């Protein structure tokens, strides 16, 4: 994380620039993201030390919560945007991307 400072006449502002890993995956499973693959995805996300968010169909969810993931209603050919933020975000993003390519 980088910090930038903005100084005007009366105040000093500290602006933090957040680096995070993002990737987009398109669901290829004919049944979409149903209970079994969603559960496996959540287990994979729970192993990550970083924060993992998913966005699809105009909604976002915590990828470590099965109810939140199932609530996205992801079907075949939907795109999911994963945002991974934390100390080991590069490693966690790579693990999630690998999981998606093998299972979804």
pLDDT in tens, 51-103: 999 999 999 999 999 999 999 999 999 999 999 998 889 999 999 999 999 99
Question: What is residue 26's predicted lDDT score, i.e. its pLDDT?
Answer: 93
Q: How many residues does the chain have?
A: 104
Least confident of 4-8, 25-29, 49-53, 81-85: 4-8
Give the per-residue pLDDT at 10.
54
- Which CATH number is associated with domain 20-103? 3.30.1340.10
Handedness of CA 103, 71, 61, 64 (dihedral sign): negative
What the block records as the tokens of 65 is 């919560």
Q: Which of 28, 31, 34, 35 is catalytic?
A: 34
Residue 34 among the catalytic residues: yes
User: Looking at residue 82, what is its pLDDT?
Assistant: 95
| Distance separating alpha carbons of residues 72 and 67, to the nearest angstrom | 9
Is 45 a residue whose pLDDT tops 90?
yes
18 has pLDDT over 60: no
Domain boundaries, the chain: 20-103
Cα–Cα distance for residue pair 104/99, rounded to 1 Å:
8
CA dist 74 and 72 (Å) reads 6
Residue carrying the six token digits 């149903």: 34
């Amino acid at each position: 994380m980088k910090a930038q400072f903005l100084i005007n006449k009366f105040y000093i502002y500290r602006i933090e620039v957040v680096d995070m890993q993002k990737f987009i995956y398109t669901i290829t499973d004919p049944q979409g993201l149903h209970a079994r693959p969603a559960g496996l995805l959540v287990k994979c996300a729970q192993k990550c030390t970083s924060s993992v968010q998913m966005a699809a169909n105009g909604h976002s969810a915590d990828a470590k919560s099965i109810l939140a993931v199932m609530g996205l209603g992801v079907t075949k050919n939907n795109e999911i945007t994963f945002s991974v933020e934390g100390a080991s975000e590069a490693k966690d993003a790579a693990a999630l991307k690998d999981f998606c390519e093998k299972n979804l």
